[in-house]
C-alpha cells in the first residue's frame, strides 16, 4: 500500500513539473519608448534549455492591442521589416532580439507609458506553453 501511494505521489510530482513554463532563460527584456502613437519595439535575449527544439510563435501584452514578431532585413542596400510566424530555438541556442534583427513590434498602446515602468509581455511557444516576462520601458535613445 505504501509503495503504491509513493508511486502515485512521484507520478503526480513529475506531471506537475512537466506542466511548467518552457525551459528558457530570458535576459535584458526592454521596450524602446517612443512618443505619441508611434509603435514601440521590444528587445530581449532568449536561451533554450530544452532537450528538443522550441518555437516562439507569438507574444501579447495588456498594454498593447497588437504584439508581433518582426525581423529587420537589409537587402541590396535597402532596410525593411517583415513579419515572422515563428523563431526556432535549437537546444542550447540563444537568439537575441535587437535593433536591426528580430524584435517585437508593439502596436496601438492602450495606456500611456513612461521610461522606468515595467510592462508584462507574454511569450507564446509552439507547444502551447506561455511565459510572462516583465519588460522595462527605456528612453528612445537606449540601445
What CATH number does residue 92 fall under? 2.60.40.1890
CA distance linking residue 45 with residue 24, whole number of Å: 10
On whether residue 13 sits in a domain, the answer given is no
Domain contains 1? no
**Pairing between strand 24-32 and 130-138?**
parallel
Predicted confidence at residue 143, as pLDDT, reads 57
Q: pLDDT digit of tens for each residue in the chain (143 aa)?
A: 545 444 444 444 444 445 566 899 999 999 999 988 899 999 999 999 999 999 999 999 999 999 999 999 888 888 888 999 999 999 999 999 999 999 999 999 998 999 999 999 999 999 999 999 999 999 877 65
Domain for residue 5, yes or no? Answer: no
Residue 78 lies in a domain: yes
pLDDT at 142 (0 to 100): 61
* pTM of the shown model: 0.82
The answer to whether position 57 is within a domain reads yes
Q: Radius of gyration of the chain from Cα atoms?
A: 18
Which ranges of the chain would DSSP assign to H, the alpha helix? 2-18
CA distance readout (Å), 1 to 7, 8, 13, 15, 89: 10, 11, 19, 21, 44
Cα separation, 119 vs 22, whole angstroms:
20
Alpha-helix runs per DSSP H in 19-126: none
pLDDT at 105: 97
Residues written for the chain: 143
Q: Is 58 exposed, middle or buried (0-12, 13-18, 19+ CB in 10 A)?
A: middle
Looking at the domain assignment, is residue 34 inside a domain?
yes
Expressed as residue numbers, the domain containing 127 is: 22-138
Per-residue pLDDT at 132: 97
- At residue 12, the pLDDT reads 42
**28: alpha, beta or left, given left = phi > 0 and alpha = psi -120 to 50?**
left
77, part of any domain: yes
Amino acid at each position: 500500500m505504501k509503495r503504491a501511494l509513493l508511486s502515485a505521489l512521484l507520478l503526480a510530482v513529475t506531471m506537475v513539473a512537466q506542466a511548467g513554463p518552457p525551459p528558457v532563460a530570458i535576459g535584458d527584456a526592454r521596450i524602446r519608448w517612443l512618443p505619441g502613437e508611434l509603435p514601440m519595439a521590444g528587445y530581449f535575449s532568449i536561451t533554450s534549455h530544452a532537450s528538443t527544439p522550441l518555437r516562439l510563435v507569438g507574444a501579447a501584452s495588456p498594454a498593447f492591442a497588437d504584439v508581433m514578431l518582426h525581423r529587420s532585413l537589409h537587402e541590396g542596400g535597402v532596410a525593411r521589416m517583415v513579419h515572422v510566424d515563428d523563431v526556432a530555438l535549437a537546444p542550447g541556442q540563444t537568439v537575441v532580439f535587437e535593433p536591426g534583427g528580430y524584435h517585437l513590434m508593439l502596436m496601438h498602446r492602450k495606456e500611456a507609458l513612461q521610461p522606468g515602468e515595467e510592462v508584462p509581455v507574454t511569450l507564446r511557444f509552439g507547444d502551447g506553453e506561455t511565459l510572462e516576462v516583465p519588460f522595462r520601458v527605456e528612453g528612445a535613445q537606449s540601445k
